[in-house]
Structure 1
Amino acid sequence: MNQLPQDNSHKLPHEYLTLEQKLRLMIGEYICLMNPFKFFPSLTEIKSCVWASGSMTYPITGISPPINLCDGPSGLRIGSKLFIKNSTSFPSATCIAATFNKDMAMIEGEAIGSECVNKSIGVLLAPAINIQRHPLAGRNYECYSEDPLLAGEMGASYIIGVQKNGVAACVKHFVANNQETQREEINVEISQRALREIYVEAFRIALQGNPMTLMTSYNKVNGQYVGENEEMKMLLREDLRYNGIIMTDWYACKDTVRMVLGGNNLIEPGKPSNYTELFEEIKKGNDKLMKEIDESVDRIIEFTNSIKPIKQMIDYTNVALSVAEEGCVLLKNNQCLPIKESSKICLIGSASYGPFAFGIGSGQSNPSRVISIKEGLLAQGMFIDKPVERIYSQHVYQQNKRSVDTYMGVFNLFKDYEELLFEKRWGIRCSQECDIAVFTIGRICGEFYDRTLQSFFLQPNEINTIKCVSEIFHSVNKKVIIVLNIGGVIEIESWKDLVDGIIVCWINGEQCGNAVASILSGHTNPSGRLPTTFPITLNQPNLQSFPGDDLIKPTKVIYKEDIYVGYRYYTTFNQKCSYPFGYGLSYTQFEYSNFNVSVDLEHQLIHFTVTVTNTGTFEGKEVIQIYVSIPEDRLEHPSIELKAFGKTKLLFPNENQQLSFTRTFRDLSSFDTDSACWIIEKGVYTAFVSKDCLTHVLSKTFSITQTIIVKQSHLYAMPITQFNCLSKNSLQ
């Protein structure tokens, strides 16, 4: 059969296909391209495949065109040992989130989507909406935030941007996929409320971007693999009203029949056993499975025919630079920034000369060139100390010659630099010849493994370099600045008082050096904010349950912190951190005024407005964060929760702008497990306009006179064992 009849309104697409065609359509094309057994690639398949991408859908002429799928969130990952296509390396998701600017997420998504079109990719396997539950999680850099609102809204904007190109985004990994250690086996034990309010909530918000595809996760939730759990399918299809394609993660399929019954329409990347298991089960007369297959086939055919690539002219370099600049977060500025024009800089640290532009695994990209911080500073008219430059350039060259392990022969498992110890004699000379010292500390991270304590803490040579350089430069009244080129947070408390300035640039793509130099020089005013908390230690109650019941091969991990993830813990239990969620400085000052809150009971809406004025001497952008304190009637709550955020345009001195936000009652509701519904509690609410989660500037109260059921729901994937969770009562 070559095509559907022209007048086919009385039949669904699956009714025209053979069982073989149906099954092949559901199983990624690695089934024949990489693992030929009874099927051999046709000429159409060979010509259509983008080799070394993720996978491809099976083409049926006139019915379902071939669609190539490809990683990743920060630029296309098309490559293997034998085949590599260059692609732009864009800032990581964490860097995007640090902009607190949904427009930045959208323009990066649009740019990557445009590259998809240019490289014949129909599905971009991004964004990752998983919560940054723990600082050591390896893929945190691929994800946006510890907060579901920030993660969800940034993800939704990114999705809209990607799909402006007529290609599909794939929101992933649904759900509670928050570690790499034993990721394919780990059983996440979690309360229903935490599951719904924190982890599913990020996906609910991201789905407002209407992603055409969604990927289920490897892990189990409360005893059952997410992809095999029919209750999870109901949660997605009925509660969240998701109507797009659901696919497995790569090689996640352990039981193909259960995966299909669990709602997965595409089995990726496909292997011979997937086809055989389904075929044999259908021969037994499994009508329930056949119904799921037919529904999947109809969805897939509709989906593949909806991919209509649109060519756009986009300046990828400018997008990568703009997002990287706006994602930089200024943590400390003791009268050292911006650096004066034409300054001579003692530029220290391996990452100053070879920055980490991308992470490991799905987030890896293949840029033709990465701009170093050295190059960026030179482009800004600064001067770099030549002897120090030679020392570190040679060290980076030697470090890059180290042997690198690979995963599956595809993914390079890059390592952190083994940093040099900066010698005192170098510092003495530089303190006389240079105007300022800049030390870049780098950390790589990524898929396949979580970070170690060694990655969280500074290496001995790093901390000793900070002590040495700070002592010498301060002795002659000169400043020391630290740049953090990191994929996840690190320990900062023990050394932050030794230096004068700290900037976090994250893993921020091929324009890393230009972006950092633009901030250091004052060409761009920093406007980023922390999308995650920098903790003092990893010993606090909210961080102890990781990676599970065993450090090496855990079988389960209990989310004992419950709803108190990230800043929700620190603010509720009055615990100190090094730098709080939402924190970030500017070279100018802003004033907030005219904060108003109004409640529309009829339409169940809450409106916020606030005016922002630039009262300083630099032009700049300001992030607005609105937190709400919820009264406790039926349920206990975190002391505050982020409920709205936004960013001003570029404001000139004395210029102001009014920002408005509207939230539904559902956005402010909490999940009551006893009644299986989302509720707005009665009582007095306090809304804060804040600089960060600890610094509230203005506040307004509003009242809800009776508890309102906002949405009736159901209980899904409930815990099968009892465990104790963190609560206000447990620490009293």
Structure 2
Amino acid sequence: MSDDARREEAVERAVARLGVEDKVRLLSGQDFWALPALPEIGLASLVMSDGPVGVRGTGWAPDDPSVVLPSPTALAATWDVELARTAGRMLGQECRRKGVHVLLAPTVNLHRSPLGGRHFECYSEDPLLTGEVGAAYVTGVQDQGVGTTVKHFVGNDSETDRMSVDVRIGERALRELYLAPFARITAAGAWGAMAAYNTVNGLTMTEHGPLQNDVLKREWGWDGAIVSDWTAARSTVASALGGLDVVMPAFGDPWGPALLRAVRAGEVPEKVLDDKVRRVLRLAARVGILDGAPGVRPSLPALDGAQVAREIATRSFVLARNERNLLPLDGGELRRVALLGALAADARVLGGGSAQVFPPYVISPRDGLAAALPGASVVYAPGADPRPHLPALACDGLTATLRGSGFRVLHSTPLPVATVRWMGAPPSGVDPDALSTVEITGRLTPPASGVHELSIIGFGQVVLRVAGDVIFEGAVFADDADPETVFHESVERRFPVPLTAGEAVDVSLTLEVRPAVAGFVNVGLGYAPPGPSPDELLDRAVAAARDADVAVVVVGTTEEVESEGFDRTTLALPGRQDELVRRVAAANPRTIVVVNAGSPVLMPWLDEVPAVLLTWFPGQEAGAALADVLLGLAEPGGRLPTTWPRRDEDALSTTPSGGILAYEEGVFVGYRSGTAAAPLFPFGHGLGYTTWSYESIAVETDPAHAGTVVVRLRNTGSRPGREIVQIYLGAAVGTTVDRPDRWLAGFAPVSAAPGHTVEARIPLPPRAFQIWDDGWQAVPGTYRVEAAHSLHDRRLTTELSI
């Protein structure tokens, strides 16, 4: 008997032994992250945790960090499904280490607009690329016997009013674009899915029977479990009948006793309940926590998290511009390097919101280049600081102490920086109901005399003390603010404090923890010593650049720009970073701009600089990977997974009107739009350190596909290299169907030594030739088949008749 059959037998035995009360209990969270155990049927508690670039676990544990991989936009920029599978395996390994059974990832909503606040957490504007990368990631996680929840089903492509917005999507666009990645990934065997906050075409997703029951479960034949996004479920009968299987978390649960009453009253048939229970037990069986059911057992060698993070980063970096072949640099010829920008020292390695996890370390660009260039002087100057908040305080003796009533210590742990942040549970062993305060303490030795700035970052009732004196006592947010909202949009209060150089002072910040917000704690101390004015910072950076062999300017976004909970209002770089780039470029003709952002930004200075490297949010190995690429130890292997617009006006709006966000563009999203506005960089764009000649293209018959495209190409440069061969289809000759000019139909990475040829074989899926018209319909005719380096750099063309 196969393992699948044994699991199904175990599920049926368990269902037969459960009463209605236990069935209902199984479908709701027992706390923030876990479902209840049912020992009478041999079921352990099913534990879930956020991803998608690391594994946070179920509670705040700074002493148990997680490997932090590059952002999903970076992973998609590799266009490498095997590397995506490795990323999944790495995170599955982390889940097993932390006792997590289900990773709440991947996010496969589309890049409809670069203004979307969670753009960095999604893969691409293209459904095929999103689906292929997402399927490989899911397969990798599940190779480790850990479940996934592909999310957010569906239409959660922006954050503004996400709990209430009604996303109006035409049926064709819904099928051809937004549902397509979910179809691909569930067909690949995803064990779970997550229902989104938003409404689609008049029905909130947690109650959307036409999509959850009719499409996902019946039409696609999917046997997994649907969990609500956290607090998304707001009804009992409607959500139970609408296809939802699990409600999370425990607080605010609309099921529980209410669902039990509905079942007993006949409002929710018991057979509907049983289907949910089977799906949850099947998930439990797959992850190995149901007696009598063989879990999926990993038989894989252990992965090195640092190595995986570094490889993904270098493969994801997109060399967007490289005039005069400025890159790669010859490290042996460098004597003085100007490294400029606040993010060069304080690298942004991941996005804000539920995607945040705690890395064991971060290699900044400053650290990475200094280590890689021991014979050169790496001169750092911040130049322009885009951070609206002061950086977190780092000082001697930083400690977090959690106390109960009567100042009783419940938990104490050292801190690398003065930040305490958790969503869900406090550290293991701490009863949330017993928690009264969180206190951050440390001893600050001022580096200079003068007025220093301390800040409170976060939300809640707090007391700030310096040298025993109360500097502030009160609230840093409105008492009636929704805790989940302020968790993602925490505020800052700054306080000037006169201090003397070398005279250490004790600092402390005490947060009062109220039961209503015990699951959402986000508080920290920021600090800045006296320093130069913004104009002086710019002048010093320019002076450093003028005297250097090369200037590397690191610019990017901040957590206040790219995060869950809100959308962007502009694609412009925050602060005076554009001015910094322009002034440095004018001072040094060998200026390289490194863009540390998870999604597109505007570049009004693009024509003024010879080299631009896009590094996304590059994970914990950020600086090491950057040094590898800048010095030519690794080739920047990335290609853009989404179009980078030239102006804000070229981005689709994410702002609802009257509670409705209408996708009036239909299927013409991103590169498919055919807009006359020339992008800053087109879909698929990315340069390397060698050159390629595309020599031939042919389409071979293939009984399993619509055909296989065979492309032969040669590395015509002087270095080994890697190319992403992209295949685009053009509309059939003579057709009257309104379709984009071209669309991605397949891709494959290839590698070759200088002068060598290599062949890419890329199957064409039948779906690439179909449209949705009350069902999938093939559009007959003769199609262009184009082999390309990018959307705007198409090298060879042939035809295929369908």
Give the TM-score, by structure 2 length. Answer: 0.77
The reply to whether residue 436 of structure 1 matches residue 425 of structure 2 is no
Match of 2:261 in 1: 280
1:70 and 1:124 in contact (8 A); partners too: yes
- CA distance in structure 2 between the aligned counterparts of 1:355 and 1:390, rounded to whole angstroms: 12
The reply to whether residue 403 of structure 1 matches residue 514 of structure 2 is no
Question: What is the CA distance between 1:514 and its match in structure 2?
Answer: 0.8
- Could you say if the C-alpha distance between residues 273 and 373 of structure 1 is closer, same or farther in structure 2, counting changes exceeding 3 Å? same
Residue pairs, 1:225-244, within 5 angstroms: 225-232=204-211, 233-244=213-224
Match of 1:678 in 2: 776
- CA distance in structure 2 between the aligned counterparts of 1:472 and 1:248, rounded to whole angstroms: 54
The reply to whether residue 130 of structure 1 matches residue 228 of structure 2 is no
- Could you say if the C-alpha distance between residues 387 and 643 of structure 1 is closer, same or farther in structure 2, counting changes exceeding 3 Å? closer
- CA distance in structure 2 between the aligned counterparts of 1:412 and 1:379, rounded to whole angstroms: 34
**Which of 566, 587, 600 matches 1:472?**
587
The reply to whether residue 481 of structure 1 matches residue 473 of structure 2 is no
Q: 1:625 is aligned with what amino acid? A: Q
Match of 1:115 in 2: 94
2:8 and 2:282 in contact (8 A); partners too: no
* More moved, 617-626 vs 307-316: 307-316
- Could you say if the C-alpha distance between residues 390 and 98 of structure 1 is closer, same or farther in structure 2, counting changes exceeding 3 Å? closer
SS in structure 2 of the partner of residue 627 of structure 1 = strand
Q: CA RMSD in A?
A: 2.9
Match of 2:655 in 1: 547
Match of 2:666 in 1: 562
**Which of 289, 292, 304 matches 2:272?**
292
**Which of 292, 310, 326 matches 2:298?**
310
**Which of 325, 330, 339 matches 1:340?**
330
1:346 and 1:384 in contact (8 A); partners too: no
SS in structure 1 of the partner of residue 626 of structure 2 = helix
Match of 1:726 in 2: none
2:710 and 2:762 in contact (8 A); partners too: yes
Question: What is the CA distance between 1:304 and its match in structure 2?
Answer: 0.6
- Could you say if the C-alpha distance between residues 394 and 457 of structure 1 is closer, same or farther in structure 2, counting changes exceeding 3 Å? closer
Identity of aligned residues (%): 29
Match of 1:26 in 2: 27
- CA distance in structure 2 between the aligned counterparts of 1:397 and 1:448, rounded to whole angstroms: 18
- CA distance in structure 2 between the aligned counterparts of 1:393 and 1:458, rounded to whole angstroms: 11
Question: What is the CA distance between 1:298 and its match in structure 2?
Answer: 1.9
- CA distance in structure 2 between the aligned counterparts of 1:203 and 1:11, rounded to whole angstroms: 28
1:65 and 1:305 in contact (8 A); partners too: no
- CA distance in structure 2 between the aligned counterparts of 1:329 and 1:256, rounded to whole angstroms: 47
- CA distance in structure 2 between the aligned counterparts of 1:9 and 1:430, rounded to whole angstroms: 68
Residue pairs, 1:313-712, within 5 angstroms: 313-335=302-324, 336-342=326-332, 343=334, 344-381=336-373, 388-389=380-381, 398-401=390-393, 402-405=455-458, 406-407=487-488, 410=520, 420-421=534-535, 425-426=539-540, 429-431=543-545, 433-444=547-558, 445-453=562-570, 456-459=571-574, 461-474=576-589, 479-492=590-603, 494-540=604-650, 543-549=651-657, 555-569=659-673, 572-599=674-701, 605-631=706-732, 633-649=735-751, 651-672=752-773, 676-704=774-802
- Could you say if the C-alpha distance between residues 656 and 305 of structure 1 is closer, same or farther in structure 2, counting changes exceeding 3 Å? same
1:96 and 1:144 in contact (8 A); partners too: yes
Question: What is the CA distance between 1:9 and its match in structure 2?
Answer: 8.9
Question: What is the CA distance between 1:469 and its match in structure 2?
Answer: 1.1
- Could you say if the C-alpha distance between residues 390 and 223 of structure 1 is closer, same or farther in structure 2, counting changes exceeding 3 Å? closer
Question: What is the CA distance between 1:57 and its match in structure 2?
Answer: 4.4
1:353 and 1:393 in contact (8 A); partners too: no
SS in structure 1 of the partner of residue 338 of structure 2 = strand
Question: What is the CA distance between 1:7 and its match in structure 2?
Answer: 14
- CA distance in structure 2 between the aligned counterparts of 1:106 and 1:10, rounded to whole angstroms: 29
- CA distance in structure 2 between the aligned counterparts of 1:503 and 1:263, rounded to whole angstroms: 45
- CA distance in structure 1 between the aligned counterparts of 2:767 and 2:591, rounded to whole angstroms: 47
SS in structure 2 of the partner of residue 466 of structure 1 = helix
- CA distance in structure 1 between the aligned counterparts of 2:166 and 2:542, rounded to whole angstroms: 55
- CA distance in structure 2 between the aligned counterparts of 1:306 and 1:472, rounded to whole angstroms: 60
Give deviations 1:126-164, integer Å, cap 9, x for gaps: 111100111111111111000000100000000111111
The reply to whether residue 254 of structure 1 matches residue 234 of structure 2 is yes
1:416 and 1:442 in contact (8 A); partners too: no
2:697 and 2:710 in contact (8 A); partners too: yes
SS in structure 1 of the partner of residue 721 of structure 2 = coil
- CA distance in structure 2 between the aligned counterparts of 1:150 and 1:289, rounded to whole angstroms: 40
- CA distance in structure 1 between the aligned counterparts of 2:8 and 2:306, rounded to whole angstroms: 48
* Unaligned runs of at least 5 residues, structure 2: 1-6, 288-294, 394-454, 459-486, 489-516
SS in structure 2 of the partner of residue 657 of structure 1 = strand
Question: What is the CA distance between 1:259 and its match in structure 2?
Answer: 1.4
2:383 and 2:538 in contact (8 A); partners too: no
Match of 1:88 in 2: 67
- CA distance in structure 1 between the aligned counterparts of 2:457 and 2:354, rounded to whole angstroms: 17
**Which of 50, 56, 67 matches 2:46?**
67
* More moved, 251-260 vs 265-274: 265-274
Q: 2:180 is aligned with what amino acid? A: E
* More moved, 604-613 vs 509-518: 604-613
- CA distance in structure 1 between the aligned counterparts of 2:227 and 2:575, rounded to whole angstroms: 45
- CA distance in structure 2 between the aligned counterparts of 1:83 and 1:431, rounded to whole angstroms: 38
Q: 1:584 is aligned with what amino acid? A: G
2:233 and 2:254 in contact (8 A); partners too: no
SS in structure 2 of the partner of residue 198 of structure 1 = helix
SS in structure 1 of the partner of residue 144 of structure 2 = coil
Give deviations 1:464-522, integer Å, cap 9, x for gaps: 21121111113xxxx11100110111112x21011111000001110111111111111
* More moved, 382-391 vs 480-489: 382-391
1:360 and 1:413 in contact (8 A); partners too: no
Question: What is the CA distance between 1:207 and its match in structure 2?
Answer: 2.1
Question: What is the CA distance between 1:368 and its match in structure 2?
Answer: 1.7
2:700 and 2:708 in contact (8 A); partners too: yes
Q: 2:258 is aligned with what amino acid? A: E
Q: 1:515 is aligned with what amino acid? A: A
Question: What is the CA distance between 1:593 and its match in structure 2?
Answer: 2.0
Question: What is the CA distance between 1:681 and its match in structure 2?
Answer: 1.0
The reply to whether residue 193 of structure 1 matches residue 184 of structure 2 is no
Question: What is the CA distance between 1:399 and its match in structure 2?
Answer: 2.9
Q: 2:645 is aligned with what amino acid? A: P
Higher helix residue share: 1
Higher strand residue share: 2
Question: What is the CA distance between 1:592 and its match in structure 2?
Answer: 1.4
- Could you say if the C-alpha distance between residues 665 and 352 of structure 1 is closer, same or farther in structure 2, counting changes exceeding 3 Å? same
Give deviations 1:651-702, integer Å, cap 9, x for gaps: 2111222111222322431111xxx121221221001001111111000011
Question: What is the CA distance between 1:216 and its match in structure 2?
Answer: 1.2
- CA distance in structure 1 between the aligned counterparts of 2:728 and 2:315, rounded to whole angstroms: 22
- CA distance in structure 2 between the aligned counterparts of 1:324 and 1:423, rounded to whole angstroms: 30
1:57 and 1:68 in contact (8 A); partners too: no
